[in-house]
Amino acid sequence: MFIPKPERLAKPTATETYFDLIQIWLRQLLDEKTISWLGGECRALHVGKGPALGNGYCQRIEMKGLSDNGLRWLIAQEDALINRIEIAIDFHFSNERDRDGTFALFHKHLIRPHHGRKQEIVLLRSEGREPCAEHHIDNVETRYDASRRARNLIIFYKQDLCRITGEVVPLLHLEWRANGKRTLERLGICSVAGLESFDHGRFWAEHLRLVDVSPERLGRLIRNRNKGTRSRVNRYDDRRNGHCLLKYECDGSIQTLLDKYGRQYPIARVLTRIPNDAWLPKAIASSSVIITSEAAE
């Protein structure tokens, strides 16, 4: 797929931010009546029956698409321990071509700082009900930048239905998954009370990090490091070598480029930031946008 310059790429017609999943642990088991009510306030509810977490926590509750009423109930559970969350943003587009173009753009330019060397990019497409590996970006439907068990993980995938409004629309769903109490604390979520004041707009302004790299500068950097020179002039083969390295060795992903060669070469020096304003909510509110139970159906 040909990816236009970021400034020429069609921008979303609308954006929506919300918590797609929240997981908590409780010290007291919920009664059946509360479980039944809570199930009606979520798109999906899972009540764990596994081993206890410790420190008196004995029941795991996983809530997807929590409603406003459900969120108020959750915030009132002062003794609850929150240790997993999915922070989501949906981008609406006027057609599939624009949506797919942004998907390809994110694959190439979106990076996550402190991305572990063992955390690999995974590209998938649907084959019936089972996802399978795919390397041609035009056919990819889902992209992970780490395993599901990673403390931090960015995933984005294509959809045709808005979970909030129920509208049929070409949509790109992007989410940041955080696992573990300490990981959530680094994001500013120290307790369930922190969900009420969580600033989605500010979060994505900081974490939707898009960068670009010039093939010429990349090729020159590698040439200088390999030959021990300090050339500031691009040679005829620098562009070709930089382009081939990114496209064929790194599947067109700057994140993969950093993971593979960031320790060998100071690649960060030749990266430039791409403004992310066009993909942020137009009205950056300080309160959360929560999926309602009606829209979750």
User: How many domains is the chain built from?
Assistant: 2
Looking at the structure, tell me whether residues 195 and 53 fall in a common domain: yes
Residue 46 forms part of a structural domain: yes
Residue 288 has pLDDT above 60, yes or no: no
Separation of alpha carbons 120 and 163, rounded Å: 29
Looking at the structure, tell me whether residues 216 and 234 fall in a common domain: yes
Residue 247 has pLDDT above 80, yes or no: yes
Query: What is the pLDDT, as a whole number, of residue 128?
Result: 67
Residue 297 has pLDDT above 50, yes or no: no
Looking at the structure, tell me whether residues 266 and 175 fall in a common domain: no
What contacts 78, CB < 8 A, 6 or more positions away? 191, 192, 193
Looking at the structure, tell me whether residues 132 and 220 fall in a common domain: no
Kindly report whether the global pTM for this prediction surpasses the value 0.95: no
Burial category of 281 from C-beta neighbours within 10 Å (exposed 0-12, middle 13-18, buried 19 and up) = middle
Contact assessment for residue 139 and residue 125, using Cβ atoms and an 8 Å cutoff: yes
Which amino acid appears at position 134 of this protein? E
Between 126 and 91, the higher pLDDT residue? 91
| Sign of the alpha-carbon dihedral angle for 147, 89, 190, 210 | positive
Looking at the structure, tell me whether residues 78 and 221 fall in a common domain: no
Residue 275 has which token pair? 């403004």
Q: What confidence tier does 3 reach under pLDDT thresholds 50, 70, 90?
A: low
Angle 185-190-193 from CA coordinates, rounded to 5°: 150
143: nearest Cα among 94, 95, 117, 107: 107
Looking at the structure, tell me whether residues 176 and 37 fall in a common domain: yes
109: nearest Cα among 97, 117, 121: 121
Looking at the structure, tell me whether residues 24 and 51 fall in a common domain: yes
Residue 113 forms part of a structural domain: yes
Looking at the structure, tell me whether residues 270 and 287 fall in a common domain: no
The secondary structure of 178-226 as a DSSP string is EESHHHHHHTT--SGGGGTT--HHHHHHHH-EEEEE-HHHHHHHHHHHH
Residue 1 forms part of a structural domain: no
For residue 19, give the H/E element and its range. Answer: strand 14-26
Query: What is the pLDDT, as a whole number, of residue 289?
Result: 38
| Sign of the alpha-carbon dihedral angle for 245, 204, 103, 178 | positive
Looking at the structure, tell me whether residues 68 and 149 fall in a common domain: yes
Query: What mean pLDDT do residues 193-202 have?
Result: 94
Residue 137 forms part of a structural domain: yes
What contacts 20, CB < 8 A, 6 or more positions away? 64, 65, 86, 87, 88, 163, 175, 291
Looking at the structure, tell me whether residues 242 and 199 fall in a common domain: no
244 lies in which domain range? Answer: 211-274
Looking at the structure, tell me whether residues 130 and 224 fall in a common domain: no
Angle 292-199-38 from CA coordinates, rounded to 5°: 30
Query: What mean pLDDT do residues 198-218 have?
Result: 95
State the CB neighbour count (10 A cutoff) for residue 196: 13
Residue 69 forms part of a structural domain: yes
Q: What digits encode the pLDDT tens for the residues 42-80? A: 999 999 877 777 888 999 999 999 999 999 999 999 999
Look at the block and give the residue holding tokens 């999926």: 291
Looking at the structure, tell me whether residues 143 and 269 fall in a common domain: no
Residue 211 has pLDDT above 70, yes or no: yes
Residue 244 forms part of a structural domain: yes
Residue 195 has pLDDT above 80, yes or no: yes
